[in-house]
C-alpha cells in the first residue's frame, strides 16, 4: 500500500494526566458548562470547520502546549480521563479533525498527514504529502476536509516563483491509494477554507486571494469570496459573491453537501449579520438568521440540519448562540467572553463545534487568562 506504515506505534508511556472535568453553571445563562482543560498549556479545540468529537460522543480531541511542543490530547467524557495521543515536533494544531470513520483523528505533522486512533494513540498510517505533490511544492496545507467516505482530502500548495508571477495549486489527494487524483493550477494562491463538498468529492471550494470583497467598484467576479475547483473539468470559477454593501465569511457545507452556508456581513461595519446558504450550484440564497447587533463570527450546522450554533466576535463580551432552524428562534447557551482582539491568536477564538449526535457543543475561550477548552451539553 502506498501509504507508509513505518511509523505505526502505540502511544508511548506518557506521564499520567490528572483526571477531571470541571462542571459549573454559566453566570449569565445559568446553563451547565464543562471546563475540559484547566492549566497554562495554551489549550484549544479544533477550527470550526472541523470535528473534535468521535462519532459515539465518547472522546473529545483537543490541542495543548502543556508538554512544551503543541500536541493533541483526548478526554474521555465518561471517565474524565485525559491522555496525550501525539508526540514529536511539527504537529499543526489547527489542522486536526476527526476522520469520517468517527474513531480516528487526522492531522498534519510537517508535510506528513497522520491518522491516529483516538482511544489508543496508535498511528494507523502516515502519508508524506511532499512525496506526491509536484516537485518543489511548499507551504503545503491540508484543508481539514475529507470526502464522506474518507477517500479524498484537499491540499493547497505553492511552487517557487518563476519571474514575477507566483505559482501554486490545489490538489485532490486519493488517500485510499496514497496518490494524487489531480491538481488544478491556482497561481494567486488560496485564502484557505478548502472544503470538499460532502455530496460530490470532486468539487472543492476555497477562499479567493487576494480578498477584494470590500472594493465595491470591482466587477462581481473580482469581488468573489469563494471559488469552486471542479476536478472533473479542471476549472476554477467564482462560486459565491455578495451584492454591493455586503461581504461573506466563514463558510461550510451541510452534512449532505446540499447547501453551502456562510456569514453575510454588512459593509462598512459588520452588523446586521446574517447566516445564509445557497444550493450546491450557487443559486437559491436563503437567509436563516439575522441579528441587528451581534457580530456573528463562526458557526456550524448540526448533522441533521435542525440547528446552528454561532459565536460572536465582540471582545470580552460574546455569547454562544443556538439557532433553531425549524422555528427561526434563537437562545443564548452561555458566554465564552473570549478576547478576540485584533492580532490575537486565532487558536483562542471560540470556534464552536457540534458533536455528530447533536448532544454537545465544544468551544475555546481565554476568559481569565490562558485559552481553555469547554463543552456545553445540549
Q: How many domains does the chain have?
A: 1
Quick check: is 189 in a domain?
yes
Quick check: is 15 in a domain?
no
Quick check: is 7 in a domain?
no
Quick check: is 277 in a domain?
yes
Domain range holding 285?
22-377
Quick check: is 8 in a domain?
no
CATH of the domain at 285: 2.130.10.10
**Beta bridge pairs of residue 310:** 299, 321
Quick check: is 9 in a domain?
no
Q: Are the CB atoms for 261 and 251 separated by under 8 Å?
A: yes
Q: Which of 351, 370, 366 is nearest to 144 (CA)?
A: 351
Q: Which of 280, 255, 251 is nearest to 264 (CA)?
A: 251
Residue 131, helix vs strand vs coil: helix
Q: Over its length of 378 residues, how does the chain's per-residue pLDDT go in tens digits?
A: 344 443 434 444 455 688 899 999 999 999 999 999 999 889 999 999 999 999 999 999 999 999 889 999 999 999 999 999 999 899 999 999 999 999 999 999 999 999 999 999 999 999 999 999 998 898 898 989 999 999 999 999 998 876 555 678 999 999 999 999 999 999 888 888 999 999 999 999 999 999 999 999 999 989 999 999 999 999 999 999 999 999 999 999 999 999 999 999 999 999 999 999 999 999 999 999 999 999 999 999 999 999 999 999 999 999 999 999 999 999 999 999 999 876 566 777 999 999 999 999 999 999 988 999 999 999
Quick check: is 166 in a domain?
yes
- State how far the Cα of 377 lies from the Cα of 25, in Å rounded to an integer: 11
What global pTM score does this model have? 0.93
Q: Apex CA 258: angle with CA 257 and CA 262, to 5°?
A: 80
Amino acid at each position: 500500500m502506498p501509504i507508509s506504515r513505518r511509523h505505526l506505534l502505540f502511544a508511548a508511556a506518557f506521564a499520567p494526566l490528572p483526571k477531571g472535568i470541571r462542571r459549573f453553571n454559566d453566570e449569565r445563562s445559568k446553563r451547565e458548562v464543562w471546563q475540559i482543560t484547566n492549566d497554562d498549556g495554551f489549550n484549544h479545540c479544533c477550527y470550526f470547520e472541523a470535528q473534535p468529537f468521535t462519532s459515539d460522543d465518547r472522546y473529545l480531541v483537543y490541542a495543548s502546549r502543556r508538554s512544551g511542543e503543541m500536541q493533541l490530547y483526548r478526554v474521555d467524557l465518561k471517565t474524565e480521563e485525559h491522555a496525550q495521543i501525539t508526540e514529536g515536533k511539527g504537529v499543526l494544531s489547527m489542522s486536526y479533525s476527526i476522520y469520517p470513520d468517527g474513531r480516528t483523528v487526522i492531522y498534519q505533522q510537517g508535510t506528513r498527514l497522520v491518522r491516529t486512533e483516538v482511544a489508543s494513540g496508535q498511528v494507523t498510517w502516515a502519508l508524506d504529502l511532499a512525496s506526491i505533490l509536484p516537485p518543489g511544492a511548499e507551504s503545503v496545507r491540508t484543508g481539514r476536509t475529507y470526502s464522506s467516505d474518507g477517500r479524498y482530502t484537499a491540499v493547497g500548495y505553492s511552487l517557487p516563483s518563476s519571474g514575477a508571477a507566483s505559482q501554486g495549486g490545489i490538489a485532490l489527494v486519493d488517500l485510499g491509494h496514497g496518490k494524487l487524483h489531480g491538481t488544478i493550477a491556482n497561481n494567486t494562491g488560496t485564502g484557505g477554507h478548502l472544503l470538499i463538498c460532502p455530496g460530490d468529492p470532486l468539487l472543492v471550494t476555497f477562499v479567493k486571494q487576494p480578498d477584494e470583497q470590500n472594493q465595491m467598484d470591482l466587477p462581481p467576479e473580482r469581488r468573489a469570496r469563494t471559488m469552486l475547483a471542479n476536478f472533473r473539468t479542471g476549472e476554477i470559477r467564482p462560486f459565491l459573491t455578495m451584492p454591493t454593501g455586503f461581504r461573506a465569511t466563514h463558510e461550510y457545507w451541510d452534512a449532505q453537501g446540499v447547501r453551502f452556508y456562510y456569514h453575510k456581513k454588512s459593509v462598512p461595519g459588520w452588523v446586521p449579520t446574517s447566516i445564509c446558504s445557497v444550493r450546491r450550484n450557487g443559486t437559491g440564497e436563503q437567509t436563516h438568521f439575522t441579528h441587528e447587533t451581534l457580530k456573528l463570527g463562526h458557526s456550524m450546522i448540526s448533522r441533521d440540519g435542525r440547528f446552528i450554533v454561532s459565536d460572536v466576535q465582540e471582545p470580552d463580551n460574546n455569547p454562544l448562540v443556538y439557532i433553531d432552524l425549524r422555528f427561526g428562534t434563537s437562545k443564548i447557551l452561555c458566554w465564552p467572553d473570549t478576547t478576540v482582539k485584533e492580532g490575537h491568536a486565532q487558536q483562542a477564538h471560540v470556534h464552536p463545534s457540534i458533536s455528530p449526535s447533536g448532544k454537545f457543543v465544544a468551544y475555546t475561550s481565554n476568559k481569565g487568562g490562558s485559552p481553555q477548552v469547554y463543552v456545553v451539553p445540549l
